[in-house]
Amino acid sequence: MAPLSYARFDHIDSDDDDDDAAQQRAGEQRAGKHSQSMRIIHKLLHRADPDITDAAASHLVDFITVQHRGVHPNNLRRREEIVSMLRGSRELLCKCAAERLLRLGQVCVDDKANEALGGGVEFATLLRVCTEALNTLMFALVEGVDAFAQLGSAAPDKRLLDRYSRLRYRGSRAIRRAILR
């Protein structure tokens, strides 16, 4: 029997450690960018609604954060967190929250808002995040929180899932139906 040779371990390649460190740095950068975006959204909420309290703005930012899809195609993998937040908050399931998200979207397309924040803000990204939050909130207002909880089930209502996935609830018809009830 030939003796075992451990010579291959005399020099261990540190590429794996570099990859882990790079992934950690990338994750920290994403988290930092997300925190900065949420601070900007908080400021923009005050610009959109000067009467909003800090607590109400923070609560809406928390909702935007919870429902944010991140790098995934949609936010349905976070539906349990979203449902929990919606069920635990009367402040979210009301027309006032929807109106604030609408006004926030309007501020995101206002060139003066970017100037007021010193420029360099990625308003297209913020607008997408706000639009997705409005879609989620409007779905809950129009169809109900239980219907949202069912979207990720084994047998979801295909019609509702399709409308939700295509951001159909952020449109004016759904908004009028929910707000004018």
This prediction has a pTM of 0.77
65/37 Cα distance (integer angstroms):
10
pLDDT value at position 66? 93
Lowest mean pLDDT among 113-117, 138-142, 161-165: 113-117
pLDDT value at position 140? 94
Average pLDDT of the residues in 124-152: 91
pLDDT value at position 97? 94
Dihedral, CA of residue 115, residue 120, residue 123 and residue 126, to nearest 10: -120
pLDDT value at position 181? 47
pLDDT value at position 79? 92
**Is the Cβ–Cβ distance between 173 and 138 less than 8 Å?**
no
More confident residue, 64 or 117: 64
Q: How many CB atoms lie within 10 A of CB 173?
A: 10
Lowest mean pLDDT among 4-8, 42-46, 133-137, 161-165: 4-8
Using DSSP, state whether 43 is helix, strand or coil: helix
| pLDDT over threshold 90, residue 176 | no
pLDDT value at position 52? 95
| pLDDT over threshold 90, residue 149 | yes
pLDDT value at position 16? 55
At which residue do the structure tokens 């004016």 appear?
172
More confident residue, 91 or 16: 91
pLDDT tens sequence across 74-86? 899 899 999 999 9
